[in-house]
Amino acid sequence: MNFSGEIKREIVKKVPQKRCCMLSLLKGFLDTSGNISLGKEERSGFSFTSENERIAKYVLGIVERLFAVPMTVAGAVRDPKHGRDKLTFLYRGEQAAAFAKELASVKRCDDCNAHYVRGAYLGSGSCTLPGEGKKTGYHLEFLLKRREDAEGMCEILSGLQLIGSILMRGEKFVVYFKSREAIADLLSVIGAEGALGTLESVSAEREESNQENRVLNCLAGNADRAATASAKQFVAFTHLKERGLLPALDKTLVDTLEARLEYPTLSLAELAEKLCVTKSCLNHRIRKLMKLHTETL
């Protein structure tokens, strides 16, 4: 199961207890994957389309609890991409007008906004996490039909201390989050504790991997700098030797120069070990030789 499915599977395990919370969840779902009609009574009502049997059953159960009415299957379309049927469920009629009006104007309690987001995620939410071999990072989004719907969603999220961004994709609008922290906060708000644990686990593994990469990059950078310094020393010491300046040098400097020429690829620490001196001492000698080289140019 992908991570989006894990979140949805967790959401449908819980049913809100208060009527206003059930109405808010249903409205969030219909705003993202359905429709609420408030026209003439014979055309008033609500409908939704879903290819997920588990989610459809969950939503139908909430409709039954709220209104004690069944929704009818109004159509089925085969989705060739996923090999599944998309079913459209519909409720119309005289009673439906009153139910649709209640859905459209539900008075929310303190918990309702979180349930609205739960419903919206069931309707059109998706979430991806970074993984091995993937270029994608953290991304959670809701897909909505109209800009005003997206702006309304951002307003609800803002009331939950969650700040979403909006972009247009084709003819639809996307409310999205791209930071691990924001996604973690949202999962916590909607009560998806299991998915939150998965997120934290992936985040910890990613941080460990990033730390290893930083160490390797640092080591590689140090190796490159050491190789460049060794090459410069080799060129400079070769020049001093060719100029016949060695007889005028102290024996310790001559030993250092000859050692570097004999072992051009050794690091400073490795070369110091060869000469049986400290790294600090060797560094001091090399600086003297490099200064002498500069002065003879």
Q: Which residue has the tokens 């959670």?
A: 140
Looking up tokens 């639809």, which residue turns up?
A: 172
For residue 33, with 0-12 CB atoms within 10 Å meaning exposed, 13-18 middle and 19 or more buried, which class applies? Answer: buried
Q: Cα(231)–Cα(171) distance, rounded to whole angstroms? A: 60
Measure the CA–CA gap between 143 and 123, rounded to whole angstroms.
Answer: 9
Angle, helices 112-124 vs 19-33, to 10°: value is: 30
Residues of the chain with pLDDT under 50: 132-133, 212
Q: How far is CA 19 from CA 16, 26, 186, 235, in A?
A: 8, 11, 23, 83
pLDDT at 211: 56
Question: What pLDDT is stored for residue 13 in this prediction?
Answer: 93
- Asked if residue 76 lies in contact with residue 88, where contact means CB atoms within 8 angstroms, the answer is yes
Q: What is the pLDDT of residues 1-10, one digit of tens each?
A: 588 999 999 9
**Which pLDDT score, from 0 to 100, does residue 80 have?**
61
pLDDT value at position 135?
Answer: 57
Which H helix or E strand runs over 221? helix 193-242
CA dihedral sign of residues 116, 127, 180, 155:
negative
Domains along the chain? Answer: 3-191 (3.10.28.10), 224-295 (no CATH)
Report the C-alpha gap between 127 and 148 in whole angstroms.
23
The whole-number pLDDT of residue 201 equals 81
Tell me the residue ranges of DSSP E strands in the chain: 34-37, 45-50, 72-79, 84-92, 125-128, 139-144, 165-169, 172-177
Sign of CA dihedral 277, 280, 281, 286: positive
Is the pTM for the entire model greater than 0.75?
A: no
Q: What is the rounded CA–CA span in Å between residue 231 and residue 261?
A: 10
AA identity, residue 172: K
Question: In 3D, which of 89, 81, 87 has the Cα closest to residue 60?
Answer: 89
The pLDDT, as a whole number, for residue 36 is 82
End-to-end CA distance of the chain: 69
Output the pLDDT for position 105: 79
d(CA 130, CA 107): 39
- The pLDDT value recorded for residue 256 is 93
